Amino acid sequence: MKTLNSPNSVLILTIIYFIVIVVFSIFDFAEHPILNRIVGGSRIPLLIFIYWLHSHTKNIIYLSALVLFFFAYIMFLESTPERSLYGSIVSLIYRFLIFLLVYKSVKNKNWFALSLASIPFLFIYSYFILLINEFLNAEIYLWILNGLLTSFIGGIALYNYLFEDENKNFWLLISSILFVIQIGIFFLHQYYLEALELRTLTIILFGISNFTFYKFMISDEERENEVSIS
């Protein structure tokens, strides 16, 4: 059991995680749907396993969010209106859980300041929504709510990074910026333009944004452990 929980195990799984990201982004498995599901679908389970081995807390909300994100990915594999709607619903629940984790972890909760800090993220997100709004149906309202949550997460990250010098805030800010860009590129690829370059960029941003948020979670847990010990 010590071997399984060793830092080496986390490092090896992290390397495998990024190898999967690189392979999946370079090679198009569209003609091999089973292989596409296996390679693409292995990313979130790998991240869950990495977090489970690394974390001493095992945050249930975070683990639940990752499981939901996995199911959202499965929903979006088929480009049908019904699956897109289900995927949008699951994505919104996932984003809400991420928002809860972020909001509970930060100290500075000045709503006015956080709202102002959210404006740049909301502006970028709104631009992507305007580009594809004619292709969205009922799910447009779900994605607007998702955008509000994502933008507010970004505002929390930016405000706390500027006024609280902690390692976790660095990871949160990087993750939040990548989340917004990733969703925007995903929109363009899913609903607007099926270009190979957009697919590659979406996969890379998917991998890095989720990994940096995992680093935020670990940093936050380590910080809490230090406070409790002291």
pLDDT tens-place string over residues 208-227:
999 999 999 999 998 877 65
Q: Mean per-residue pLDDT for 6-32? A: 87
Please list, residue by residue across 6-25, b when 16 or more beta carbons sit within 10 angstroms of its beta carbon and e when fewer do.
Answer: eeebbeebbeebbebbeebb
From residue 178, alpha-carbon distances to 40, 74, 123, 171 in Å are 19, 21, 15, 11
**Chain-centre distance of CA 10, in angstroms?**
20
When pLDDT is cut at 50, 70 and 90, the band that residue 140 belongs to is confident
Q: Quick one: what percent of the chain has pLDDT higher than 70?
A: 93
C-alpha angle 35-40-45 in degrees, rounded to nearest 5: 115
Q: How far apart are CA 152 and CA 148, in angstroms?
A: 6
In this structure, the number of other CB atoms found within 10 A of the CB of residue 76 comes to 17
Asked if residue 200 lies in contact with residue 36, where contact means CB atoms within 8 angstroms, the answer is no
Quote the pLDDT of residue 98. 96
**Among candidates 70, 62, 146, which has minimal Cα distance to 105?**
62
Q: How far apart are CA 82 and CA 118, in angstroms?
A: 31
From residue 225, alpha-carbon distances to 48, 156, 157, 190, 230 in Å are 21, 22, 21, 41, 9
How big, in percent rounded to 5, are the helix, strand and coil portions of the chain? 85, 0, 15
Encode pLDDT of 39-71 as tens digits.
889 999 999 999 999 998 899 999 999 999 999
Question: What single-letter DSSP state applies at residue 229?
Answer: H
Q: Is the pTM of this model over 0.75?
A: yes
pLDDT at 168 over 60: yes
**Among candidates 210, 209, 229, 219, which has minimal Cα distance to 105?**
219
C-alpha angle 17-7-209 in degrees, rounded to nearest 5: 35
